[in-house]
Amino acid sequence: MTLDKDKMLEYCNQFSKNTLMETLNIEYIDAGEGFLVAKMPVNSSVHQPMGLLHGGASVALAESVGSAASHFFINDKEQEVRGIEISANHLKSIREGFVFGTARIIHKGRSLHLWEIKITDEEGNLVSLCKLTNMVLTKEKNKN
C-alpha cells in the first residue's frame, strides 16, 4: 500500500469539520504504514470536575484516531467504517498541555480492523491504553 501522508492528514482533518473532533480540537498530525497520530489540547473544556482530563475525552480521541486510521485500508467510495467496541485503561492524570493518540493496526481483516491506541502526554508518558474494533461495511447502493 502506498500512503500519501499529506493527503491522508488533509482528508482526516477535513472530514472532522462540524463534528465532535472539531469540538474537541482534535488535529491529525502524522501518518505512516499502519499508524495515525492525532493531538488534542487538555484544558477546562475536556476536564472532569476535579480538573483532570476526562476519561470520556480520552476515549473520544482514541475512537476518532482509530476510526480515521481504518480509512487507510478501505475503498471509501464502496465501504464505510463503524466502531463496534472500545476499551480503555486510564493510567495517568493530566491537567493541561496536549495528549497524542497513536493508533497502530493489530489486525487488518476484510471486515474487521483491530487497533491499539496509545494516548501519551507531551513527555511521552502513557496516559491511556485503548483497544478499538472497527467493522468494515459495504455502502448501500442508492435506490432509484
Print pLDDT tens along the chain (144 aa): 456 899 989 999 999 999 999 999 999 999 998 899 999 999 999 999 999 999 999 999 999 999 999 998 999 899 999 999 999 999 999 999 999 999 999 999 999 999 999 999 999 999 999 999 999 999 987 655
- 63 annotated active-site: yes
Single out the catalytic residue among 10, 27, 33, 63: 63
Go through 46-75 and write b for each residue having 16 or more CB atoms within 10 A of its CB, e for each that does not. bbeeeebbbeebbbbbbbbbbbbbbbbbbe
What is the enclosing helix (H) or strand (E) of 133?
Answer: strand 126-138
Alpha helices in the chain (DSSP H): 5-15, 20-23, 55-70
**9, 37, 144 from 32: Cα distances, Å:** 10, 9, 40
Q: What is the pLDDT of residues 25-60, one digit of tens each?
A: 999 999 998 899 999 999 999 999 999 999 999 999
Could you list the beta-strand ranges (E) of 4-125.
27-32, 35-42, 79-90, 97-108, 112-120
How many alpha carbons fall within 13 Å on the CB side of residue 93? 6
What cell numbers appear for 83 in the block?
Answer: 466502531
